[in-house]
């Protein structure tokens, strides 16, 4: 997971550069500058990042699914079972956002491929809706427990 931080910074710097005026060039040891990424490489960048994000969240969902399958052996309470299932859903939703970005990177024409980066802004609303829905159901379960 930690190896994902720098590529994330690079990706968001690239995506937000037109809005913030951030330069997309890097300084070379000799003092010159060079474009950080060629335009033709951008779809591959989004594809790799989206695939990595999907793999990361699918792995987390798989680990929670494993715990859910072993819920009897782990002696999970109904509330812990609920939380485990909610975590699985949350991670699958996150993986889905990465999948949408990767698919857009493959399908969009080069001049629109940057839109694949804006898909990541879906994290906020999607996880907020999931959290609100889950929270309401959890409160009902807490009252019963």
Q: How many domains does the chain have?
A: 1
Identify whether 9 is part of a domain.
no
Confidence of residue 76 (pLDDT cuts 50, 70, 90): very high
**Predicted pLDDT of residue 138:** 96
Give residue 1's pLDDT.
60
Is 63 a domain residue? Answer: yes
What is the DSSP annotation of 23-76?
--EEE-TTS-EEESS-GGGHHHHHHHHHHHHHHHHHHHHHHHHHHHHTHHHHT-
Query: What local confidence, expressed as pLDDT, does residue 33 receive?
Result: 83
- Assigned domain for 24 exists: no
The answer as to whether 29 is a domain residue is: no
27-55 tens-digit pLDDT:
788 888 887 777 788 898 889 889 999 99
Residue 110: DSSP 8-state: G
Which structural domain range is residue 101 located in? Answer: 39-144
Helix (H) or strand (E) holding 14: helix 5-20
Give me the mean pLDDT over the 102-110 stretch: 95
33 domain residue, yes or no: no
Residue 19 lies in a domain: no
Report if residue 17 sits inside a domain.
no
Is residue 111 predicted with pLDDT exceeding 70?
A: yes
Residue 89 burial (10 A CB sphere; 0-12, 13-18, 19+): middle
- Both tokens of 137, joined, read 């159901």
Tell me the pLDDT of the chain averaged across its residues.
Answer: 89
Residue 68 lies in a domain: yes
């Amino acid at each position: 997971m930690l190896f994902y931080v720098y590529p994330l910074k690079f990706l968001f710097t690239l995506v937000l550069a037109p809005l913030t005026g951030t330069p997309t060039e890097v300084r070379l040891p000799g003092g010159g500058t060079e474009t950080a990424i060629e335009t033709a490489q951008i779809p591959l960048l989004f594809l790799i990042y989206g695939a990595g994000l999907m793999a990361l969240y699918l792995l987390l969902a798989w680990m929670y699914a494993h715990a859910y399958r072993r819920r009897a052996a782990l002696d999970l309470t109904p509330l812990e079972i609920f939380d485990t299932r909610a975590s699985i859903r949350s991670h699958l939703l996150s993986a889905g956002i990465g999948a949408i970005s990767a698919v857009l990177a493959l399908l969009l024409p080069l001049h629109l491929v940057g839109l694949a980066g804006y898909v990541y802004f879906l994290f906020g609303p999607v996880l907020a809706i999931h959290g609100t829905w889950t929270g309401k159901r959890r409160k009902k379960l807490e009252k019963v427990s």
